[in-house]
Amino acid sequence: MNRTTEQKFMDLLKEQSAYGEAIGLMAWDMRTKAPRKGIEGRSEVLGVLSQKVHEIQTSPEMREYIDELKGNVDDSVLERALEEAEETYDKTAKIPTDEYRAYVTLQSKAESMWAEAKENNDFESFRPYLEQLVEYNRKFAEYWGYKNHRYDALLHNYEPGVTVEVLDEVFPKVRKALTDLLNQTQEAPIQPDPSVLEGHFPKEKQAQFSEAILARMGYDFEAGRLDETVHPFAIGLNTNDVRVTTKYDEKDFRTAVFGTIHEGGHALYEQNINSKLAFTPLADGTSMGIHESQSLFWENFIARSKGFWKSHYELFKTYAPDSFQSLPLEKFYRAVNEVKPSLIRIEADELTYCLHIMVRYELEKALIGGEIEVKDLPELWNQKMKDYLGVVPENDAEGLLQDIHWSGGDFGYFPSYALGYMYAAQLDAKMRESIDVDKWVEAGDFKEIKNWLTQNVHQYGKMKKPLEIMNDVTGEGLNPDYLVHYLTEKYKKIYGF
């Protein structure tokens, strides 16, 4: 075992991590604080820094260290870091450096143009950028290779082990179960009254309540912060700097409150990765599906539960406007859990949420497969929304322009939301075997819940692969039955069917 080579390898990973943190900080700034006129120049800087990361990942030194150390180390972190570095090397080396830099620069410009296009309801201004992004992703998929479907190469970036074949088997079954449930709720004799939630709710007060809940969840504000943005996200610069953003709607507090809790779930994951993994590629979530399992667990299984509002309703009313002061808890709880097909994914109720994901999955799978083109998207989007949710956007701003993901080139990402929801239901069921979750939630004390998640998921970062975590914790792989059971039991009680 060559200690000198080990140190050189770890130093190279640390250099790569340092560039990655700088890129992450710039990305956060561009989405939150940066002036619009600075975007183009910042995009060029991001391209240069990303090219540097690409060069490190594919450098002769990286290849040399991997070859020399592979199979010759007795440290589990180093061994797993070598595996991750080799996979990245093999994948990244297939993309020419100049193409990679051009692609990263395009991503940054496209995100800015998307925000402008969304604001102006102007898909045509964004379309040329999206066409280029799609073409790059088709090309990259060919570089990387795949067995059955070009989209599989992109899925692997976000959810290793999941393929089109798996999704095309699971999603239709879940869609039928959810559609049946949706129909039952819409025809039920008992209907929540969402009008009780209406009223002007100043964003400053929403922010104060959101911060209070984040703190109760265990989010460390000395290792993070909460900011406003167009499209909510969490970003981990390192385990001691994990930032949360949210979007405020003064006519509907649910957007910010549940959005903040969702992003807080992501942040708790990254704040609690084992410090031994710092400055390695392992100091990150193991997959976007597992990442989403954490955010959706907190947003839905915890924050939309009756127990949560039993313990937090009085606190909520200290920030809420007068219209909430005499509103009974039961009416409030039922209203925040109303099931109603809607146009906006991030505002969707938990029963219809996966249907939004399936619309996006089917469209981007067809885009990457070359079955459709970008120009076809508005019409196809509207048709699928009508078919799956029974609603049709009046414009592209509330249709295919609503999400930031495609503007960042994140094709293959969307399925992780639905997979994460399924994972969350499995983890919730397993957690309840050893923890009285309802008791702790009703007490407003989340320490035991957070500790269980850290022990079983968070601490490992990328030391374990996604399906390895699910098998180790729950004893089985992906099983959508838990999610269907959870939603069925919850909404039977709320709607009385």
From CA 310, how far away is CA 298, in angstroms rounded?
Answer: 16
Is 15 annotated as contributing to ligand binding? no
| Token pair 């929304």: residue | 385
Q: Chain centroid to CA 16: how far? A: 24
> Two tokens at 492?
């039977």
| Token pair 């990150």: residue | 284
Q: Would you please indicate which residues are annotated as catalytic (active-site) residues?
A: 263
Helices (H), 188-285: 203-217, 254-271
> Two tokens at 118?
């969304």
From CA 123, how far away is CA 117, in angstroms rounded?
Answer: 6
Is 200 annotated as contributing to ligand binding? no
> Two tokens at 17?
């991590």
**Nearest one of 394, 390, 401 to 340, comparing CA atoms:** 390
In the sheet that holds 241-246, the strands lie side by side as 226-228, 241-246, 234-238
> Two tokens at 58?
């594919």
From CA 101, how far away is CA 91, in angstroms rounded?
Answer: 15
Vertex 270: Cα angle to 490 and 63 (nearest 5): 130
Q: Chain centroid to CA 355: how far? A: 16
The backbone torsions φ and ψ at residue 263, rounded to the nearest 5 degrees and listed phi first, read: -65, -30
In contact, 425 and 483? CB cutoff 8 Å: yes
> What dihedral angle (degrees, nearest 10) is formed by the CA atoms of 377, 378, 383, 388?
80
Q: Is 226 helix (H, G, I), strand (E, B) or coil?
A: strand
From CA 187, how far away is CA 182, in angstroms rounded?
Answer: 9
Is 231 annotated as contributing to ligand binding? no
Using only C-alpha atoms, what is the Rg of the chain? 23
In contact, 88 and 12? CB cutoff 8 Å: no
Contacts of 39 (CB under 8 A, 6+ apart): 30, 108, 109, 112
Residue positions in the annotated binding site for Zn(2+)?
262, 266, 292
Residue positions in the annotated binding site?
262, 266, 292
